[in-house]
Amino acid sequence: MAVTLGSYTFDLAHTAVREAHQEVGGRRERVVEINGVIVGESSPAAIEAKLDAILSASASDTYTAALSLREGRRLLVRRTEFERHVSPDALTGAFVLKLHARDPIEESITTATVNWTVQVSGSTLPLTTEGTAPAPLSISLFAIGDVVNPAFDDGERTITYSGTVPDGSTLVFDGVTQRVTLDGEDVTPYTQGLFPCVDPVSSTLRYTDAAASSHHANVTVAYRERWW
Protein backbone atom coordinates (compact mmCIF):
# COMPACT_ATOMS: atom_id res chain seq x y z
CA MET A 1 0.00 0.00 0.00
CA ALA A 2 1.01 3.64 -0.31
CA VAL A 3 2.57 5.60 2.55
CA THR A 4 1.22 9.13 2.57
CA LEU A 5 1.81 12.28 4.60
CA GLY A 6 -0.92 14.81 3.95
CA SER A 7 -1.20 14.96 0.16
CA TYR A 8 2.34 13.66 -0.42
CA THR A 9 2.83 10.00 -1.44
CA PHE A 10 6.24 8.42 -0.84
CA ASP A 11 7.97 6.21 -3.41
CA LEU A 12 8.11 2.91 -1.54
CA ALA A 13 10.80 1.55 -3.86
CA HIS A 14 13.18 4.14 -2.45
CA THR A 15 11.75 4.73 1.04
CA ALA A 16 12.12 2.96 4.39
CA VAL A 17 9.87 3.46 7.42
CA ARG A 18 10.71 2.69 11.05
CA GLU A 19 8.31 2.98 14.01
CA ALA A 20 8.95 3.04 17.76
CA HIS A 21 7.15 3.97 20.98
CA GLN A 22 8.74 6.22 23.59
CA GLU A 23 7.82 7.95 26.85
CA VAL A 24 7.51 11.74 26.57
CA GLY A 25 6.59 13.72 29.69
CA GLY A 26 4.97 10.70 31.31
CA ARG A 27 2.94 9.71 28.27
CA ARG A 28 3.62 7.38 25.37
CA GLU A 29 4.15 8.73 21.86
CA ARG A 30 4.78 6.96 18.58
CA VAL A 31 7.89 8.04 16.68
CA VAL A 32 8.10 7.40 12.95
CA GLU A 33 11.31 7.83 10.97
CA ILE A 34 11.12 7.90 7.17
CA ASN A 35 14.34 7.61 5.15
CA GLY A 36 14.40 7.91 1.40
CA VAL A 37 16.18 8.90 -1.78
CA ILE A 38 14.91 11.00 -4.66
CA VAL A 39 15.78 9.63 -8.09
CA GLY A 40 14.56 10.04 -11.64
CA GLU A 41 14.34 13.84 -11.61
CA SER A 42 15.72 15.89 -14.50
CA SER A 43 17.40 18.68 -12.51
CA PRO A 44 18.62 19.63 -9.04
CA ALA A 45 15.74 22.13 -8.89
CA ALA A 46 13.22 19.33 -9.39
CA ILE A 47 14.85 17.34 -6.58
CA GLU A 48 14.72 20.38 -4.30
CA ALA A 49 11.05 20.81 -5.15
CA LYS A 50 10.29 17.24 -4.05
CA LEU A 51 12.19 17.71 -0.82
CA ASP A 52 10.28 20.97 -0.24
CA ALA A 53 7.02 19.10 -0.77
CA ILE A 54 7.98 16.52 1.89
CA LEU A 55 8.95 19.30 4.30
CA SER A 56 5.73 21.25 3.79
CA ALA A 57 3.52 18.16 4.22
CA SER A 58 3.82 18.47 8.01
CA ALA A 59 4.16 21.23 10.59
CA SER A 60 6.66 21.36 13.44
CA ASP A 61 4.31 22.97 15.98
CA THR A 62 0.99 21.11 15.68
CA TYR A 63 -0.14 17.47 15.49
CA THR A 64 -2.30 18.04 12.43
CA ALA A 65 -0.61 16.19 9.55
CA ALA A 66 -2.25 12.87 8.64
CA LEU A 67 0.28 10.06 8.22
CA SER A 68 -1.00 6.82 6.71
CA LEU A 69 1.27 3.78 7.06
CA ARG A 70 -1.41 1.11 6.65
CA GLU A 71 -4.51 0.86 4.49
CA GLY A 72 -7.42 2.89 5.87
CA ARG A 73 -5.56 4.11 8.98
CA ARG A 74 -3.88 7.34 10.05
CA LEU A 75 -1.80 8.96 12.76
CA LEU A 76 -1.89 12.69 13.47
CA VAL A 77 1.74 13.81 13.62
CA ARG A 78 4.10 16.76 13.80
CA ARG A 79 7.59 17.06 12.32
CA THR A 80 10.48 17.01 14.79
CA GLU A 81 13.46 16.59 12.43
CA PHE A 82 14.16 16.90 8.72
CA GLU A 83 17.51 16.37 7.05
CA ARG A 84 18.04 16.76 3.31
CA HIS A 85 20.87 16.38 0.85
CA VAL A 86 21.14 16.91 -2.91
CA SER A 87 23.87 15.55 -5.21
CA PRO A 88 23.64 17.76 -8.34
CA ASP A 89 26.05 15.70 -10.43
CA ALA A 90 24.28 12.40 -9.72
CA LEU A 91 20.82 14.01 -9.86
CA THR A 92 19.81 12.34 -6.60
CA GLY A 93 18.53 13.55 -3.26
CA ALA A 94 18.21 12.01 0.17
CA PHE A 95 16.18 12.80 3.27
CA VAL A 96 15.53 11.72 6.84
CA LEU A 97 12.16 12.76 8.28
CA LYS A 98 11.22 12.17 11.91
CA LEU A 99 7.58 12.51 13.01
CA HIS A 100 5.92 12.27 16.43
CA ALA A 101 2.31 11.20 17.09
CA ARG A 102 1.16 12.43 20.52
CA ASP A 103 -1.58 9.77 20.42
CA PRO A 104 0.27 6.55 19.53
CA ILE A 105 -2.93 4.74 18.53
CA GLU A 106 -3.81 4.60 14.84
CA GLU A 107 -7.37 5.51 13.89
CA SER A 108 -9.48 4.81 10.83
CA ILE A 109 -9.49 7.45 8.13
CA THR A 110 -13.25 7.09 7.70
CA THR A 111 -15.82 7.56 10.45
CA ALA A 112 -18.37 4.86 11.26
CA THR A 113 -21.86 6.29 11.75
CA VAL A 114 -24.90 4.53 13.25
CA ASN A 115 -28.39 6.07 13.41
CA TRP A 116 -30.61 5.10 16.33
CA THR A 117 -34.25 5.91 17.08
CA VAL A 118 -34.84 6.00 20.84
CA GLN A 119 -38.41 5.53 22.05
CA VAL A 120 -37.98 4.23 25.59
CA SER A 121 -35.60 4.65 28.51
CA GLY A 122 -33.37 1.59 28.61
CA SER A 123 -33.10 1.30 24.82
CA THR A 124 -29.89 -0.39 23.64
CA LEU A 125 -27.72 -0.27 20.52
CA PRO A 126 -25.07 -2.90 19.61
CA LEU A 127 -21.82 -1.49 18.25
CA THR A 128 -18.90 -3.34 16.66
CA THR A 129 -15.33 -2.48 15.73
CA GLU A 130 -12.48 -4.27 13.98
CA GLY A 131 -9.98 -2.20 15.96
CA THR A 132 -7.82 -3.42 18.85
CA ALA A 133 -8.22 -0.34 21.08
CA PRO A 134 -11.29 1.33 22.63
CA ALA A 135 -12.78 3.98 20.35
CA PRO A 136 -14.38 7.11 21.90
CA LEU A 137 -17.87 7.91 20.70
CA SER A 138 -19.49 11.11 19.51
CA ILE A 139 -23.18 10.86 20.42
CA SER A 140 -25.63 13.39 18.99
CA LEU A 141 -29.15 13.41 20.48
CA PHE A 142 -31.97 15.31 18.75
CA ALA A 143 -34.83 15.64 21.24
CA ILE A 144 -38.40 14.79 20.24
CA GLY A 145 -40.32 16.32 23.07
CA ASP A 146 -38.45 17.45 26.18
CA VAL A 147 -35.75 14.97 27.16
CA VAL A 148 -34.76 15.11 30.84
CA ASN A 149 -31.41 13.94 32.27
CA PRO A 150 -30.32 11.82 29.27
CA ALA A 151 -27.49 9.37 29.88
CA PHE A 152 -25.52 6.86 27.82
CA ASP A 153 -23.43 3.95 29.08
CA ASP A 154 -21.41 1.13 27.56
CA GLY A 155 -21.58 -1.18 30.57
CA GLU A 156 -18.44 0.31 32.13
CA ARG A 157 -18.60 4.07 31.52
CA THR A 158 -21.63 6.35 31.89
CA ILE A 159 -22.05 9.99 30.89
CA THR A 160 -25.09 11.95 32.15
CA TYR A 161 -26.40 15.41 31.35
CA SER A 162 -28.20 16.92 34.34
CA GLY A 163 -30.78 19.07 32.68
CA THR A 164 -33.48 19.23 30.02
CA VAL A 165 -32.92 19.04 26.28
CA PRO A 166 -35.90 20.98 24.87
CA ASP A 167 -37.95 19.61 21.99
CA GLY A 168 -36.03 20.18 18.74
CA SER A 169 -32.68 20.83 20.43
CA THR A 170 -29.49 18.83 19.92
CA LEU A 171 -27.21 17.59 22.70
CA VAL A 172 -23.78 16.28 21.69
CA PHE A 173 -21.54 14.13 23.90
CA ASP A 174 -18.15 14.31 22.17
CA GLY A 175 -15.86 11.66 23.61
CA VAL A 176 -12.93 12.78 21.46
CA THR A 177 -12.82 16.35 22.78
CA GLN A 178 -14.37 15.41 26.15
CA ARG A 179 -16.95 18.19 25.72
CA VAL A 180 -20.74 18.31 25.79
CA THR A 181 -22.72 20.93 23.88
CA LEU A 182 -26.41 21.87 23.73
CA ASP A 183 -27.26 23.59 20.44
CA GLY A 184 -23.57 24.49 20.17
CA GLU A 185 -23.23 25.91 23.69
CA ASP A 186 -20.76 24.24 26.05
CA VAL A 187 -22.65 22.50 28.87
CA THR A 188 -19.83 20.20 30.00
CA PRO A 189 -20.00 21.53 33.61
CA TYR A 190 -23.56 20.14 33.82
CA THR A 191 -22.47 16.60 33.00
CA GLN A 192 -20.90 13.89 35.09
CA GLY A 193 -19.25 10.54 34.51
CA LEU A 194 -17.06 9.06 31.80
CA PHE A 195 -17.63 9.15 28.06
CA PRO A 196 -18.62 5.75 26.61
CA CYS A 197 -16.46 3.90 24.09
CA VAL A 198 -16.83 0.95 21.79
CA ASP A 199 -14.40 -1.70 22.96
CA PRO A 200 -12.56 -4.16 20.70
CA VAL A 201 -14.95 -6.58 18.99
CA SER A 202 -18.23 -5.21 20.36
CA SER A 203 -20.07 -3.13 22.96
CA THR A 204 -23.68 -2.35 23.80
CA LEU A 205 -24.63 1.30 24.21
CA ARG A 206 -27.60 1.91 26.53
CA TYR A 207 -29.77 5.03 26.79
CA THR A 208 -31.63 6.08 29.94
CA ASP A 209 -33.41 9.25 31.09
CA ALA A 210 -35.71 10.56 33.83
CA ALA A 211 -39.31 9.46 34.34
CA ALA A 212 -40.49 12.95 33.36
CA SER A 213 -38.74 12.72 30.00
CA SER A 214 -40.48 12.19 26.66
CA HIS A 215 -38.09 9.24 26.10
CA HIS A 216 -38.04 10.04 22.38
CA ALA A 217 -34.96 11.10 20.41
CA ASN A 218 -33.10 10.58 17.17
CA VAL A 219 -29.51 9.63 18.02
CA THR A 220 -26.44 9.47 15.80
CA VAL A 221 -23.36 7.63 17.06
CA ALA A 222 -20.05 8.24 15.28
CA TYR A 223 -16.56 6.87 15.91
CA ARG A 224 -13.24 6.08 14.28
CA GLU A 225 -11.91 2.56 14.80
CA ARG A 226 -8.55 2.48 16.62
CA TRP A 227 -5.52 0.18 16.71
CA TRP A 228 -2.61 -0.05 19.13
The reported pLDDT for the residue numbered 170 is 98
For the chain, 228 residues long, the average pLDDT of each consecutive 10-residue run is 93 96 82 97 96 96 96 97 96 97 95 98 96 97 98 97 98 97 98 97 95 98 96
CATH number of 4-104: 2.40.30
Cut 0.85: pTM above it: yes
Select from 1.10.3720.10, 3.40.50.720, 3.30.70.150, 2.60.120.860 the CATH code of 110-227: 2.60.120.860
Q: What CA–CA distance (Å, rounded) separates 64 from 204?
A: 32
> For residue 26, what pLDDT is reported?
76
pLDDT for the residue numbered 23: 80
For the chain, the helix, strand and coil percentages under 3-state DSSP, each to the nearest 5: 10, 55, 35
State the Cα–Cα distance between residues 160 and 192, nearest whole angstrom. 5
- Domain limits of the chain? 4-104, 110-227
